[in-house]
Amino acid sequence: MNIDDIVLNFAPGTLMILNVVLALIMFGIALDTAPSDFKVVLKHPKPFFVAIIAQLFVLPVVTFGLTLILPVTPSMALGMILVACCPPGNISQVLTHRSGGNVALSVSMTAVSNLIYIVAMPLSIAFWGSMHPTARGLLKTVSLEPAKMLLEIFLIIGVPFAVGLLIRAKMPAFATRVQPFVKWFSLIALLGFIVGALAGNWTYFVAFLGIILLVVAVHDAVALAIGYGTAHIGGLGTRERKAVTFEVGIRNAGLGLGLVFTFFGGLGGMAIVAGWWGIWDIIAGLTLASLWAAHTKRKTGSVKGDPTGKSVSREAAAEEADQ
């Protein structure tokens, strides 16, 4: 059985549900995004530029290298490239808060980064995929059109994000009430969707379990390390390093999975890599955040913010950014 020849079972109606869930995730991020979050980037641009460089350039380059080193097939390599080119996931804010990192910085970076990725994502996938010695053949077979992908991403990311920003600006009290529900409902729905997709194609997943676990674990660990390493080299403080670590290491693999079924026909290696990444990065991220928080508390006697992961006020987050 060749994973490159596998096409995962996925009903068109289910794909529509996935797109709605992804749109809800972006809508939830926007509802939690205030104008002050963009001002944070303007007032403190250095951490943002460090994170953007790490995400748009360092992570794809290193991922490209990993696909040449690890024992992956062309479709798995393209799946890794796809994930590396995805925007950051909104759970990065939860993990940043749990670890005692700079929450306001995380929120602002996610908000601005997702706007950039509307254009950057399809271009990055097309560029790095076409450069790969074995995976580029798959791009030719599916006739990937960056312009069409740009439109799809704009509809899934751009439109709900813009609607959420508008509601946040015009009806802030309403946005504050509904945001937690939208955020957690969409996150749980996405996780359930990924689990369901893997369960529905369990035979294929089990057949390649060993290599998938290895590849995703290594790739995710490297992504987190890139976030921390670039933040350290950039001279950022400890709390900013935590925010950048999760901003770079946590990718919106659910969006990637949707693109696999929309533009790559459910190609086996790509879908399984993206699907398992969506589960594993939550597990790895929560583990790292908890260990990091415990280490900081032992070292300093306290962890900035509520370690239970509950939301902090907008005012408290703004104060964090100014520190």
pLDDT tens sequence across 58-93:
999 999 999 999 999 999 999 999 999 998 877 887
Euclidean distance between the first and the last CA atom of the chain, given in angstroms as a whole number: 55
**Nearest 5°: CA angle at 44, between 301 and 37?**
90
Of 260, 235, 257, 296, the closest CA to residue 97 belongs to: 296
Classified as helix, coil or strand, 118 is helix
Band (321; pLDDT cuts 50, 70, 90): very low
Calculate mean pLDDT across residues 116-123.
Answer: 87
Which DSSP string corresponds to 35-75?
Answer: HHHHHHHHHSHHHHHHHHHIIIIIHHHHHHHHHHHS---HH
Residue 290 one-letter amino acid:
S
Residue ranges of the domains in the chain?
Answer: 11-322
CATH pick for 11-322 out of 1.20.1530.20, 1.25.40.10, 3.90.320.10, 3.20.20.70? 1.20.1530.20
Provide the token pair at 184.
Answer: 């957690």
Q: What's the pLDDT score for residue 82?
A: 93
pLDDT band at 157 (very low <50, low <70, confident <90, very high): confident
Span 184-210, mean pLDDT? 76
In contact, 270 and 79? CB cutoff 8 Å: yes
pLDDT value at 317 more than 60? no
Point out which residues pair with 274 in neighbouring strands: none
Q: Which residues on adjacent β-strands are paired with residue 267?
A: 7
Residue count of the chain: 323
β partners of residue 7: 267
Say if residues 146 and 123 touch (Cβ distance below 8 Å). Answer: yes
When pLDDT is averaged across residues 216-233 and rounded to a whole number, the result is: 96
Among 182-186, 196-200, 287-291, the range scoring the smallest mean pLDDT is 196-200
Q: Are 85 and 128 in contact (CB under 8 A)?
A: yes
71/257: higher pLDDT: 71
Residue 149: predicted pLDDT: 75
Q: Are 26 and 167 in contact (CB under 8 A)?
A: no
* Nearest residue to 38 via CA among 141, 210, 168, 148: 168
Half-sphere exposure of 25 (CA within 13 A, CB side): 28
